[in-house]
Amino acid sequence: LNFCSLTIGHLIGKGAFGFVYQGLAKNINSKDKITTVAIKTVRGKLINK
């Protein structure tokens, strides 16, 4: 899934490890279709290698 295909919406939950947002994803099941998804994020530092 391409990150550019996601639209992040509102926060729906959080826990010890990160946050969960409601979002929209384009072209997951079929071309030109938009699907409601849950987007999990992880707390922590970004590491560039």
Neighbours of 24 (CB within 10 A): 15
The stretches of 1-49 forming alpha helices (DSSP H) are none
Name 13's bridge partners.
Answer: 20
Q: Enumerate the domain spans of the chain.
A: 3-40
Q: Using CA atoms, how far apart are residues 26 and 2, in angstroms rounded to an integer?
A: 9
Which 3 state secondary structure label does DSSP give 8?
A: strand
Q: Per-block average pLDDT, block size 10, for the chain (49 residues)?
A: 85 92 88 88 67
| Confidence (pTM) | 0.72
Question: Is residue 26 a known part of a binding site?
Answer: no
The confidence score (pLDDT) of residue 23 equals: 95
Q: Using CA atoms, how far apart are residues 12 and 22, in angstroms rounded to an integer?
A: 6
